[in-house]
Amino acid sequence: MTHLFPPLEIETDSLTQTPGHYPRYQALAEKSLPPLQHCLDRWLTPQDTPQKELIDAARYAVFSGGKRVRPLLLFATIDHYQLSSAQAPTPLAIEVAACIELIHSYSLIHDDLPSMDDDDYRRGKKTLHTIIGEGLAILVGDFLLTLAFEKLSTLKLANAPLQLKLIETIARASGHQGMVGGQYLDITAHKHPHTKELLTWIHRKKTGALFTASILSGALIQECAQDQLVAWEKIGQDMGLLFQLIDDLIDSLPSTLTQRIPLGPSSFIAMSGSEETWKEALALREQIKKELNALKALPSAHAVTTEPTCALLDIVDLICHRYEPSSTE
């Protein structure tokens, strides 16, 4: 019997090759990612039904690597309010993070389609549509998106307003006011004047919206005050923009160019070049660190660790360290 998909090891990639250099990130990943993977595995259990290939394809998309950055942002935000850095994430945090990862996985399937970015490989593996065809790949993406909101709507929460707010936050980030809206403007960039302001807006929506939803979800679970939610929202937007800048820089390296479409006009590199984009990323990294440190001054009804936001500070550095300017010299 021929199997379309090879057996998968349910492991995540790491943001760094040297996790020992980032002990706060490593501690966060070790305590939070295994239960997250278990949750995703449970939700996508292989089935011996006529829909077996749909589930298998979804597992291929969800478990073919990935750094789980968005779930980590949610867990790290919650860690800001915990006394013990060893405290494991709650089932609520795990399930909300898993829903966000399902949405992210759906978006990657659709981004890779011939009608979008037309990519044949992602994370060193063949993209889903090259294995099962474009039509079925679209359906798998639809399945993951709807599964995420099915799970969000069936969370066993006594706090109904919190549940509704989580659903609203993640839905807004996923739709026309967030990721889909940013993707739309990216695809139609040729119809708009190429300005830095528009480009920043696209990236804050296309990538930043789901980053923001992850961080806000963590803050909502901790029942943060409104001024803290505003601060966390700005941090999420800036971290999403930083991640996209670094992704564009990585994609511009000759060693990483494959059969993918070259960077289009919707990139800072096309507008300003790699050197200026790197400077922009470094400045943004420092801005995010200032915003994280400013959170320490905001009053909180919850206990805070002696090193608030420390895991988030590691993640900010790790996002930048994925790119090495010297490799272009």
Question: Which tops the pLDDT comparison, 2 or 33?
Answer: 33
pLDDT at 14: 79
Per residue in 57-106, pLDDT (tens digit) is 999 999 988 899 999 999 999 988 875 566 788 999 999 999 999 999 99
Three-class SS string for 171-222? HHHHCCCCHHHHHHHHHCHHHCCCCHHHHHHHHHHHCHHHHHHHHHHHHHHC
Sorting pLDDT into bands at 50, 70 and 90, what band is 259?
very low
pLDDT at 153: 96
Inform me whether the pLDDT recorded for 263 exceeds 70. no
Contacts of 97 (CB under 8 A, 6+ apart): 32, 36, 70, 71, 74, 75, 89, 214, 217
Inform me whether the pLDDT recorded for 2 exceeds 50. no
Inform me whether the pLDDT recorded for 326 exceeds 50. yes
Could you tell me whether strands 121-122 and 125-126 are parallel, antiparallel, or unpaired per DSSP bridges?
Answer: antiparallel
Sorting pLDDT into bands at 50, 70 and 90, what band is 273?
confident
User: Taking a C-beta distance cutoff of 8 angstroms, is the pair 193, 184 a contact?
Assistant: no
Percent of the chain whose pLDDT exceeds 90: 56
- Mean pLDDT, rounded, for 282-296: 91
Inform me whether the pLDDT recorded for 27 exceeds 60. yes
- Mean pLDDT, rounded, for 28-41: 95
Percent of the chain whose pLDDT exceeds 70: 86
**Chain-wide mean pLDDT for the chain?**
86
pLDDT at 257: 44
pLDDT at 108: 95
pLDDT at 298: 60
Inform me whether the pLDDT recorded for 253 exceeds 70. yes
Inform me whether the pLDDT recorded for 1 exceeds 50. no
pLDDT at 264: 57
